[in-house]
Structure 1
């Protein structure tokens, strides 16, 4: 009986060994190493079904896998193939949405585009667009006289939802809760997200106390408090998850942001710590 021998990198531990070797050999190793080329061919075959599920070609899976495989998070993960598969699925899904909505893959990853449907011609439907499209409907104003704005409760709920978002993406709950509550406390002390970000970024004592790798810590600050880049201040990236949840953004909408999810996954303190070489 003919038996097919699987390459060593087909297992998670074998993949880790290969990725560490390629990392140690330097950036040129991916171009010249025969085993790296074999890995890419194997990746195309492995994710062919996933690519077809998202209406993509099998070859489209290779760049997504390549980008993930070069990160320390994959090298240090308990199951490197599982992290690669998640990254490939997110990228292929974004590529599919981008093709349908006639926009870039980067835009398709953003949460603000998650509710959009694929582009279609007006003539594709028998009913006039004014009859079915919600943009042409006028809702009666709601009576808001009796609404109460309990900011304290809203802030507490936003804090819990932020913690739950990270935990759902496999961050350890104890470290996540302690870190985000620490960030929240500093935010209250400083009175502004930017001041809190700069203060915490330099707070080596807090990072050591929380046993948080530098990459994970800076990513956590940027995701929770928002990017300090002035050009992003009016974007979701600039606002940060905590502010968006406090303002009433649905947590499901934020969780649907594949780009954000991948950022959180790749910064997992457990996998980052496992992948650090020094």
Structure 2
């Protein structure tokens, strides 16, 4: 039985777009009167980016890292009809139904590695996570981390699990090193990768991975021609992450190697 649940909110007000990249996320208000950063299923990469965001965020949270609360955000068919911007109106029309949103951390500032130093343990945990998730988007150019109340928060895992945009040779991808770790913003400080690998490999298990994958709404799995059914599609995510966890030494060694070259 799935022991994980996400709250579902209804979007009541579109506040402002966040013009970052091509996905046009937005700050929006929901019927619980909180503000959220809303990620749209109708954006360029479709539900796959939301699936990566959901999996990455909830696994990070389970491992003890700080991630803003994730919620399912329901967008009504009538929402956005009065939006004057045609591009945004088209996006809202394409995103009717369940989307994904992160609690908006008001007053948070973007993490800057030249200003803030991260301790070795936390840096190693985040590097390990991103190697596990094949998250290419935690670089100096775009750190996808915020400082909020003097604590480091992880945001935006939509670029993780990039193999699922084609599902080509995904079984092989599961046990491959993560070569892009060389560009990770926290790699210089990640001196405790070996102990973190042991800790996280024991903490994370197939049951916990399954409980996260089971959160994915069925309609986010529609239209994928690589699988005969949504059940098979969901199982592929479980198998990818379970196999990757079982072979974590492979991406651990690549991270250690990249760090030796960097230093």
Q: TM-score, normalised by structure 1?
A: 0.23
User: Higher helix share goes to which structure?
Assistant: 1
User: Higher strand share goes to which structure?
Assistant: 2
Q: TM-score, normalised by structure 2?
A: 0.23
